[in-house]
Amino acid sequence: MTAVPGQVANMIDLICDRCGNVLSCRADHLRDLEVVWPLLTDQGWAGSPFATGQHTCPGCVVGQLRESRSAAAAAWPVRKHIPRSVELRHDPHAAIVEVRGDIDRLLVSTMQAALGRAAALHRNIALDMSAVQLVDPIGLGVLVRGHVRARKRGGHLCLAAPSRFVLTVLHTMRLDDALPVFDDLPSALTWLAAHPPAPRQAPAQRSS
C-alpha cells in the first residue's frame, strides 16, 4: 500500500515504489479514499489509481518512459477519424455501453452519463470498446470510477475488444488486473453470465 493516511488530518502520503520519495497531499477533495487517481494526476505521478498498488514519482516516471520508449511507440496506433458516440442497450446479463471514438475530454461527460444510466439498468456493465482507439487520463478516470461503482454494487465493469494502445495504458497503470478484459463483446457477456452480481447487502439494523 503506497498511498497511506498522513500524520495530519485530511492528508495522504504518496510513496514512490522506485526511489522511496514521499509526498504529502491534501485529500479532502477525494470522494473515495481508495481512489487516489486525482492526486496522482495533479502531482504528475503514475501507477495504480487505487491506494493499494505501486506508485511512481515524476522523476522515476521519466526514467520509466525512457526505458519503455520503443514499446510505447510500437503501441501508438495510426489515427483515423471515428465519429464519437455512446449508445446504451440492455442484455439479460449486463447493461451494454457501446463507445465509438476516443475516450477523452470531448466524450467524458457523455460517458459519465451513459455509465450512470447503465448502472441503473444492471449491476454488471459491458463496455464495448471495439471502435475506441485511445483513452486519455480523464477518460481513464471515468473507467476507474465506473469500476468502483460497479464493485460497490456487487457487479463488474468489463472491457470488450480494447485497442492495443488501451491495453498498454491499462498495463502501465496496473489496471489490467482490476478491470476484466475480453477479446470481444460475446466473450465478455459469457463471462458475466457465469459471474452474476453478488447479492446486495441488507442495511444494518439499528439497535433500539
pLDDT at 65: 58
For 68-124, where are the alpha helices, taking DSSP H only?
69-75, 108-121
> What is the average per-residue pLDDT within 82-111?
91
pLDDT at 66: 61
Domains, the chain, in order of start with CATH, read: 3-59 (no CATH), 85-194 (3.30.750.24)
H/E stretch holding 159 reads: strand 157-160
CB 22 within 8 A of CB 55: no
pLDDT at 208: 44
Distance CA 125, CA 185 (A): 11
Q: 155 or 25: which carries more pLDDT confidence? A: 155
Is the pLDDT score of 73 beyond 70? no
Question: Among residues 156, 198, 155, 146, which one has the least CA distance to residue 181?
Answer: 156
CB 2 within 8 A of CB 54: yes
Is the pLDDT score of 87 beyond 50? yes
> What is the average per-residue pLDDT within 119-133?
94
pLDDT at 79: 53
pLDDT at 43: 80
Q: What is the pLDDT of residues 14-72, one digit of tens each?
A: 888 888 888 888 887 676 667 777 777 778 788 777 877 788 888 877 666 565 555 54
Region class of 126: left (phi > 0), else alpha (psi between -120 and 50), else beta: beta
Dihedral sign of CA atoms 190, 144, 99, 177 in order: negative
* pLDDT class of 146 with cuts at 50, 70, 90: very high
Tell me, yes or no, if the pTM score tops 0.75. Answer: no
Distance CA 71, CA 73 (A): 5
